[in-house]
Amino acid sequence: MSYQEDVRREAAKLLDEKTVHLFIGYADSDLPLKTAAHAIRSSADADQLVWNPACTANLAALLPDLLKRPEGFRGEWEPPKVGILAKGCVSRSIVGLIKANQIPRDALTIVGIACDGMVSRHWVVDQLGTAELVDATIDGGKVSVRASDGTEKTFDLDEALAPNCRVCTHRAAVIHDVAIGEAAEMDVDEAARYESVRAFAEKALDDRWAAFEEEISRCIRCYACREACPNCYCNECFAEETEPKWIGVTTDLSDLMLFHLGRAFHQAGRCVDCGACVAACPQAIDLRLLNQKINHDVQTLYGGEVSVSLEQPEPLLQFRMEDDEGFMTDPG
């Protein structure tokens, strides 16, 4: 991943040419294996931008707030010109947002970047047991980490990749104005892609329920999953509606499950498996458990891929007369 200089150069160029007012990318944080989403307004700040396997956040989630008319704004709204660094998943989220009329294409300059996948910080932290991750370096396809108790460990980068990155099918941006780098060809067949779904579905019904309950019971209602997701742009989330009141605000397990099921349904045919919700969750809840099942069904039942082009309609906004009815009850 030696594209960092290219990122800085492109960002500086766009800002200098005044093609964009601001450029959104990633900057270093002071924590190992973590970057910060970062916006710069001047080419002088371009060297703050970084590109490495810790650039996890889906930056597209920041776009609706930046580009939509602010509440109470009167007059002709002119959105700022925004440049954005887009790995494959981010570009697909941008496609989805444009198609849903949430952001205007012409306000955006998309700098596509070839991505080799991101490290799962949650996974690495897990490998250190109860000690804290205090230092990490990524070099030559290896992730070397040190824990607070002095333990040092080294992992293959491939092994430490986030589960969604391992089965990524679009490592390069599907839509871009500028492209950086060339993505390695990914050979992920459907079986490999949905292996986690198959494994979970193999469990007995009540074991699945118990596992679902256990996973969701850790939820603290911080809504980091929702806010980190570019698809969650509703002005009012069903979770916060009071008339009708779908769920309360407590940590009642049934309400937690309803929230996550409802959110998963809302993602149907729109989720690009960017993994942002999982990475954002402070409780490391495996939210892909739900999303990947729906993604699997969308792909196998209706075919095609979600948000890979501006032209193709999304799977749940179309139908075929001969769509599967095997799930339906026929009294005969």
Partner 1 sequence: MNNPYMPYPVRIDEIIIENEARDLKTFRLVFVDPEHEKVFNHIPGQFAEISVLGKGESPIGIASSPTEAGSLLFTIKRTGVVTDELHNAREGRVIGVRGPLGKAFPIERMKGKNVVIVGGGFAFTTLRALIQYLTHEENRSDYGDITVVYGARSPGELLYKAELAAWQARDDMTTHITVDKGDDDWTGYEGFVPAILDQVAPSSTDALMVLCGPPIMIKFTLPVIEKLGFAPADTILSLEMRMKCGIGKCGRCNIGSKYVCKDGPVFTLEELSDLPDEF
Partner 2 sequence: MTVLKASKSDLRKLLGAIAGEKRLIAPIADRTAVRFAEIADSAEICLEYRNPRMSARSALFPQSEVLLTFDGETATDARPEYRETVLFGVRPCDARAFTMLDRVFRWEGTDDPYYVGRREAATVVSLACNESGAACFCTSVGGAPHDETGSDVLAIDLGDDVLLRPVSERGETLLATFAPGMTEASEADLDRAAKFAEAAKAGQPDVAIPTDLEGLKKLFDSEVWEEFAMTCLGCGACTYSCPTCHCFDITDEEKRGVGYRVRSWDTCAFPLFTLHGSGHNPRPAKNARVRQRVLHKFLYCPENFEQVFCVGCGRCVTNCPTGIDIRKILGRVSQLVASG
Partner 3 sequence: MTDKATIQAGWEPRIAAFLCNWCSYAGADLAGVSRIQYPPNVRVIRVPCSGRINPLFVVKALQSGLDGVLVSGCHPGDCHYISGNLYARRKFALMKNLLEYVGIEPNRVHFSWVSAAEGIRFAQLLDGVIESVRELGPTTKMIKKLEAVQ
Residues of this chain, 245-284, that bind partner 1 according to CB under 8 A: 245
Residues of this chain, 222-241, that bind partner 3 according to CB under 8 A: 238
CA distance 171 to 246: 38
Q: How far is the CB of 257 from partner 3 (least distance, A)?
A: 6
Please report, for residues 247, 256, 290, the alpha-carbon distance to residue 243 in angstroms, rounded to integers and kept in the order given: 11, 19, 27
In this structure, the chain runs to a length of 332
DSSP string, 264-307: HHHHTTT-----HHHHH-TT---THHHHHHHHHHIIIII-S-TT
The answer to whether 124 and 145 are in contact (CB under 8 A) is yes
The interface mask with partner 2, positions 198-237, x = CB under 8 A, is --------------------x-xxxxx-xxx---------
Rg (CA), the chain: 21
| Helix (H) / strand (E) containing 157 | helix 157-160
The answer to whether 183 and 99 are in contact (CB under 8 A) is no
Q: How far is the CB of 250 from partner 3 (least distance, A)?
A: 5
**Pick 72 or 331: Cβ nearer partner 1:** 72
The interface mask with partner 1, positions 189-228, x = CB under 8 A, is ----------------------------------------
Instruction: Quote the DSSP letter at residue 161.
Output: B
CA distance 62 to 95: 14
> Could you say which of 189, 243, 323, 330 contacts partner 1 (CB under 8 A)?
243
Q: How far is the CB of 224 from partner 2 (least distance, A)?
A: 4
CA distance 124 to 85: 25
Residues of this chain, 260-289, that bind partner 2 according to CB under 8 A: 276, 279-280, 282-284
What does 243 interact with, of partner 2, partner 3, partner 1, none (CB < 5 to 8 A by kind)? partner 1
Instruction: Quote the DSSP letter at residue 329.
Output: -
Q: How far is the CB of 241 from partner 1 (least distance, A)?
A: 11
Lookup: tokens for 93: 């989220």
Binding positions for partner 3, rule: CB under 8 A: 197, 200-201, 205-212, 238, 246, 250-252, 254-255, 257-258, 261-262, 264-265, 268-269, 290, 293-294, 297-298, 301-302, 315-317, 319, 321, 323-325, 327-332
